[in-house]
Amino acid sequence: MQAKKRYLISLLTGAFLVLLFYFGGVPGPATGRSRYDRIRNGYRSDQPWPHFSDRLQSFNPWDQTDTEEYNIHISPKQKRDVNTSVYKGKRCRMDSCFEFSLCKRNGFKVYVYPQQKGEKISESYQNILSTIEGSRFYTSDPSQACLFVLSLDTLDRDQLSPQYVHNLKTKVQNLPLWNNGRNHLIFNLYSGTWPDYTEDLGFDIGQAMLAKASISTENFRPNFDVSIPLFSKEHPRTGGERGYLKYNTIPPFRKYMLVFKGKRYLTGIGSDTRNALYHVHNAEDVVLLTTCKHGKDWQKHKDARCDKDNAEYDKYDYREMLHNSTFCLVPRGRRLGSFRFLEALQAACVPVMLSNGWELPFSEVIDWNTGAVIGDERLLLQIPSTVRSIHQDKILALRLQTQFLWEAYFSSVEKIVLTTVEIIQDRVLQHTARSNLMWNSHPGGLFTLPQYSTYLGDFPFYYAGLGIKAHPRFTAVIHAVTPLVSQSQPILKLLMAVAKSPYCSQIIVLWNCDKPLPAKHRWPVTSVPVIVIEGENKVMSSRFLLYESITNDAVLSLDEDTVLSTTEVDFAFTVWQSFPERIVGYPARSHFWDSNKERWGYTSKWTNDYSMVLTGAAIYHRYYHYLYTHFLPSSLKNMVDQLANCEDILMNFLVSAVTKLPPIKVTQKKQYKETMMGQSSRASRWADPDHFAQRQTCMNKFASWFGAMPLVHSQMRLDPVLFKDQVSILRKKYREIERL
């Protein structure tokens, strides 16, 4: 037995020794030191890194680069095919799981499967589908489409939910165009269920792209999936509420520093962070409240803190806190994303993200560092000191950015869906993709169409940010509808007046008259070129086409019967240079809410304010021509064409929706149109009583498409500095404006 024991001991010692050897417990005595020692040669004590006197070799010798050939190997085409076959499922990328060729033929078009009878679709999903169907991307022909969207409701994949659609797997597989999900986009808000809430959708999505809420970085396939925000059933389809920020208080601190009010989970996933929140709560400026009171049997699981927490929870009003807090905590819920996120964003309460591994909504294009504070769940206790250390200038910038982001991408289902689609379009049309600046600064990606130009200087929004200016001349576009019969016609006077402006570089006459083009010699000789374009289809909307000959940034849009002097044009153009993103013009109109009829009213009466400037005499950026033609739906444009009316209202709606600002009215010498005109055919259009009623109808139709009334009132007019001042007229630059 003794021997046995001894053997056992020696055995154990041996084993221990071996263990030591393996795990490096005993370092070699002298060597360990020398290994970690600094090199003596060339080492100077004041220099942390040694200097070498002899020249070291380059890491990338010339001969090596020159011999790198891959001619001997597979061709690039084969390589692409290999990628396609290798990178599937979780490793899908645009390069391997997306058929670009489908988008080549007809551009970027989206097809929505027809809805099948007996399939019930949730309201939210219905909103998504109708947004796509109403967008300019929609096609009803699957052979033209490059992106496919299912009509099967995939939003809620929580098996316990009443909205859960069963047998999705077979239903999807049976779709004739499914093609293993290639070029398909699947929307999802909820996946997995209690207790672990996995991100599995419960059916094989094949090579389809996911537009999913609460997606984790782990499952997110970069540049393939799109992370969307979690939105509620009540989220409006179009328009959407504006942000709550009305004014900027200085210093930018609010009553509370950091707030949160939400559920605490007693069981299951997502409890950790919320369980610890009470450590940070101080009931003064950091108010973090949780309640256990949710679900059927919360009493069963309740812990020692529950009663205390619940009592504290009931003391505060969520709305009040939301509006009066500088920062709002957004910890993970059951899933990574929570409703708190959009609520905070809208309330201009800077979200403090506490949801590790959440791929933030639209992270591919939105720079969230400018609109949120991204915290780390593991450093929860540091959060208060972190947010307190943020400088007030930064808080102000963050707060304003939340409002921009909310209004640009999140305020309605339409915006969320269109942003998703636009992101995918940017990937498909790589060389005409939006730059980060377009996505992250006002007016945002949905209003800046890179197909117009990828050069920032071609848009009216980035002049200040790039330190450049608009082109110092304008192109005049005159909309001609009556035949040229006499030399005293207003259009010819107008032509002469405009041509005399030193800022005018060319005049385009858009011939929308049924009569054939007049002979060239009928047009007066001017110092600037006059280009006559025969209007396509002679419809109203054609005046807002972006003709190739419009080369200047500024467009002076004119009706043929407009009466303007050169001075007025000059002055308006100098004003426009200060406000290149707005419409600057002369005749103004206003809108109002008619509470009796419960609809918008239109007025051309003289009022103390205005919200529209008629495009019969207005200067604006040429980009709005593009936007009018390509951004607005054909339903609205057709309406304008059929009525041959309201095009100016629609343009004002569009520009105000983009800028969120009123147009600018400048001084006019005389009264315009209604009062002045008597003889021309165009005037009869204004005299027509139907004309006015039509404009009223238009307004309401437009407002419903925009989802809200974008027009904004202004009470001021811009006059020349010395306008009607009691000083010699010789001192005045724009003296013609004052002469009657």
- Rule CB under 8 A: which of 160-219 touch another protein? 217-218
Q: Is 595 helix (H, G, I), strand (E, B) or coil?
A: coil
* Interaction of residue 527 with another protein, rule CB under 8 A: no
Of 283 and 379, which has the nearer Cβ to another protein? 379
Backbone angles phi, psi at 403, to 5 degrees: -70, -40
CB of 439 to another protein, least distance (A): 10
Beta carbon of residue 165, minimum distance to another protein (angstroms, whole number): 29
From the CB of 307, what's the least distance to another protein, in Å? 33
Q: Which of 21, 253, 592, 593 binds another protein (CB under 8 A)?
A: 21
For 23, phi and psi rounded to 5 degrees? -100, 10
Integer Cα distance of 377 and 375 in angstroms: 7
Q: CB-wise, 166 or 247, nearer to another protein?
A: 247
Minimum distance between the CB of residue 42 and another protein, rounded to whole angstroms?
A: 6
From the CB of 170, what's the least distance to another protein, in Å? 29
Non-local CB neighbours of 173 within 8 Å, separated by 6+ positions: 204
Q: Least Å distance between CB 297 and another protein?
A: 32
Q: Which one, 345 or 373, has the nearer CB to another protein?
A: 373
Stretch that binds another protein, among 117-125, 637-645, 677-685, 710-718 (CB under 8 A): 710-718
- Residue 329 φ/ψ, nearest 5 degrees: -75, 135
- Minimum CB distance to another protein smaller for 296 or for 606: 606
Of 87 and 705, which has the nearer Cβ to another protein? 87
648 among known catalytic residues = yes
Q: 33: Cβ–Cβ under 8 A, 6 or more apart, which residues?
A: none
Provide, rounded to whole angstroms, the least separation between the CB of residue 457 and another protein: 6
Nearer residue to another protein within complex by CB, 42 or 633: 42
Nearer to another protein (CB atom), residue 40 or residue 315: 40
Shortest gap between Cβ of 648 and another protein (angstroms)?
A: 18
Which of residues 239 and 663 has its CB atom nearest to another protein in the complex? 663
Listed in sequence order, the residues at least 6 apart from 499 whose beta carbon sits closer than 8 Å to its beta carbon are: 507, 526, 527, 528, 530
Tokens matching residue 108: 């970027």
710 counts as binding another protein under rule CB under 8 A = no
How many CB atoms lie under 10 A from the CB of residue 68? 6
State how far the Cα of 411 lies from the Cα of 692, in Å rounded to an integer. 33
Q: Count residues contacting another protein (CB under 8 A)?
A: 153
Tell whether residue 515 is a contact of another protein (CB under 8 A): no
Of 257, 269, 280, 433, which lies in the binding site for another protein, with binding defined by CB under 8 A?
A: 433
Q: Which residues are CB-contacts of 435 (< 8 A; sequence separation ≥ 6)?
A: 454, 456
10 Å Cβ neighbour count for 78? 10
* Nearest distance from C-beta of residue 547 to another protein, angstroms: 16
For another protein, the binding residues in 220-239 under the rule CB under 8 A are: 222-223
* Shortest separation between residue 238's beta carbon and another protein, angstroms: 20
Element (H, E) at 642: helix 634-643
Which window, 8-16, 254-262, 635-643, 703-711, contacts another protein (CB under 8 A)? 8-16
Residues 442-481, interacting with another protein (CB under 8 A): 442, 453-458, 464-468
**565-594: contacts with another protein (CB under 8 A):** 571, 574-575, 578, 588
Q: Which of these, 457, 531, 276, lies nearest to 378 by C-alpha position?
A: 276
Task: Considering the complex, state which of residue 175 and residue 433 has its C-beta at the smaller distance from another protein.
Answer: 433
In one letter, which amino acid is 510?
L
Catalytic hit among 196, 393, 648, 725: 648
Using CB under 8 A, which residues numbered 42 to 81 contact another protein? 42, 47-52, 55-60, 62-66, 68-73, 75-77, 80
| Span of 24-32, 170-178, 617-625, 679-687 interacting with another protein by CB under 8 A | 24-32
For position 253 contacting another protein by CB under 8 A, the verdict is: no
Determine the residue type at 240: G
Dist. CA 152–CA 154, nearest whole Å: 6
Please give the residues from 600 up to 659 whose contact with another protein meets the rule CB under 8 A.
606-610, 659
How far from each other are the two terminal CA atoms of the chain, in whole angstroms? 128
Binding segment toward another protein, per CB under 8 A, in 230-238, 437-445, 524-532, 682-690: 437-445
Answer yes or no: are the C-beta atoms of 189 and 231 closer than 8 Å: yes
Binding mask 261-300 for another protein (x = CB under 8 A): ----------------------------------------
Closer of 269 and 718 to another protein (Cβ) = 718
The closest alpha carbon to 666, from 595, 729, 613, belongs to 613
- Long-range contacts of the stretch 116-122 (C-beta < 8 A, 24+): 116/151, 119/151, 119/152, 119/153, 119/165, 120/153, 120/165, 121/151, 121/153, 122/153, 122/155, 122/156, 122/163, 122/233
Count the Cβ atoms, other than its own, within 10 Å of residue 718: 17
**Residue selected from 436, 549, 635, 681 as contacting another protein according to rule CB under 8 A:** 436
Cα-based distances in Å from 425 to 224, 301, 422, 436, 462: 11, 48, 5, 15, 22
Stretch 81-110: interaction string toward another protein, x if CB under 8 A: --x--xx--xx-x-x----x----------
DSSP 176-232: TT-GGGTTEEEEESEE--TTT--S--SS--TT-EEEEET-BTTT--TTTSEEE----
Residue 269 or 532 with smaller CB distance to another protein:
269
Query: Which SS3 state, helix, strand or coil, does residue 330 take?
Result: strand
Footprint on residues 393-412 left by another protein (CB under 8 A): 393-394, 396-397, 400, 403-404
CB of 254 to another protein, least distance (A): 13
Shortest separation between residue 270's beta carbon and another protein, angstroms: 16
Query: Restricting to residues 333-372, which ones interact with another protein according to CB under 8 A?
Result: 356-357, 367-370
Candidate list 1, 160, 250, 525; residue touching another protein; CB under 8 A: 250
What SS3 class is residue 460?
coil
Stretch that binds another protein, among 275-283, 392-400, 627-635, 639-647 (CB under 8 A): 392-400
Among 81, 314, 317, 376, which residue sits at the site for another protein (rule: CB under 8 A)? Answer: 376
Give the Cα separation of 38 and 8 in Å (integer).
45
Q: How far is the CB of 720 from another protein (least distance, A)?
A: 6
Query: 283 CB contacts (<8 Å, ≥6 apart)?
Result: 312
Site for another protein in 718-737 (CB under 8 A): 718-727, 731-734
> What is the footprint of another protein within residues 654-693 (CB under 8 A)?
659-662, 665-666
Q: Which helix (H) or strand (E) holds 380?
A: none
Q: Which is nearer to another protein, 115 or 217 (CB)?
A: 217
> Tokens 């139709």 appear where?
701
| CA neighbor of 332 nearest in space, from 301, 384, 376, 286 | 376
**With 0-12 CB in 10 A as exposed, 13-18 as middle and 19+ as buried, what is 565?**
buried
User: How many CA atoms lie within 13 Å of 362's alpha carbon, on the beta-carbon side?
Assistant: 29
Give whichever of 126 and 432 is closer to another protein, judged by the CB atom.
Answer: 432
The pair phi, psi for residue 536, each rounded to 5°, is -75, 130
Active site residues: 648
